[in-house]
Amino acid sequence: MNVLNPASSPSNEDALQPVPTGSGQQRRYGDFATFPDALDYAAQGDAGFNIYSGKGVLLEALPYRKLREQAIETGLRLLGMGLQPGDRVAIVAESDGDFARIFFGCQYAGLVAAPLPLPVAFAGKETYLSTLRGMITSAGASAVIIPQIIEGWTDDIVSGMGLAFAGSPAELMERPVPDMPLPNIHPEALSYLQFSSGSTRSPMGVCVSQRSGMANVAAIAHDGLCVRETGDRCVSWLPLYHDMGLVGFFLTPMTCQLTVDLLPTREFARRPHVWLDLISRNRGTIAYSPSFGYELCARRPASTELDLSCWRVAGIGGDMIRPHILKEFSERFASVGFNPKAFVASYGMAEATLAISFVPLNSGIETDTIDLPALENEGIARAATDPETPTRTFVVCGRVLPGHQMEVRDPEGAVLSDRQTGTIFVRGPSLMDGYFRKPADTAQVLDQDGWLNTGDLGYMLDGQIVVTGRAKDLIIINGRNIWPQDLEWSAESHISSLRSRDVAVFSMEKGEHEEIVALIQCRATSPEAREALRAEATSLFRRLHGVDVSVVLVPPHALPQTSSGKLTRAKARKMFQTGLFEPQPEAASAC
Q: What is the CA radius of gyration of the chain?
A: 24
Q: What sign does the dihedral 179-170-242-289 (CA atoms) show?
A: negative
pLDDT surpasses 90 at 531: yes
Give the pLDDT of residue 122.
53
pLDDT digits (tens, 9 = 90+) for 229-281: 999 999 999 999 999 999 999 999 999 999 999 999 999 989 999 999 999 99
pLDDT surpasses 70 at 129: yes
Give the pLDDT of residue 125.
85
The residue with greater pLDDT, 412 or 477, is 412
Which of 179-188, 436-445, 484-493 comes out lowest in average pLDDT? 484-493
CA–CA separation, 255 vs 253, rounded Å? 5
Q: Is 156 left (phi over 0), alpha (psi -120 to 50) or beta?
A: alpha
- On whether the CB atoms of residues 195 and 205 are closer than 8 A, the answer is yes
pLDDT surpasses 80 at 120: no
pLDDT surpasses 90 at 221: yes
- Residue ranges and CATH numbers for the domains of the chain are 367-470 (2.30.38.10), 483-587 (3.30.300.30)
Q: ∠181-183-186 over CA atoms, to 5°?
A: 155
CA–CA separation, 46 vs 62, rounded Å? 10
Kindly report the pTM of this predicted structure. 0.84
What is the CB neighbour count within 10 angstroms for residue 301? 6
Q: Across all residues in the chain, what is the average pLDDT?
A: 90
Give the pLDDT of residue 123.
59
pLDDT digits (tens, 9 = 90+) for 52-83: 999 999 999 999 999 999 999 999 999 999 99
Q: pLDDT band for 588, please (50, 70, 90 cuts).
A: very low
Q: Is 501 left (phi over 0), alpha (psi -120 to 50) or beta?
A: left
- On whether the CB atoms of residues 65 and 48 are closer than 8 A, the answer is yes
Give the pLDDT of residue 410.
94
| Pairing of β 206-209 and β 434-435 | antiparallel
What letters, b where the CB count within 10 A reaches 16 and e where it falls short, cover 375-384? Answer: beeeebbeeb
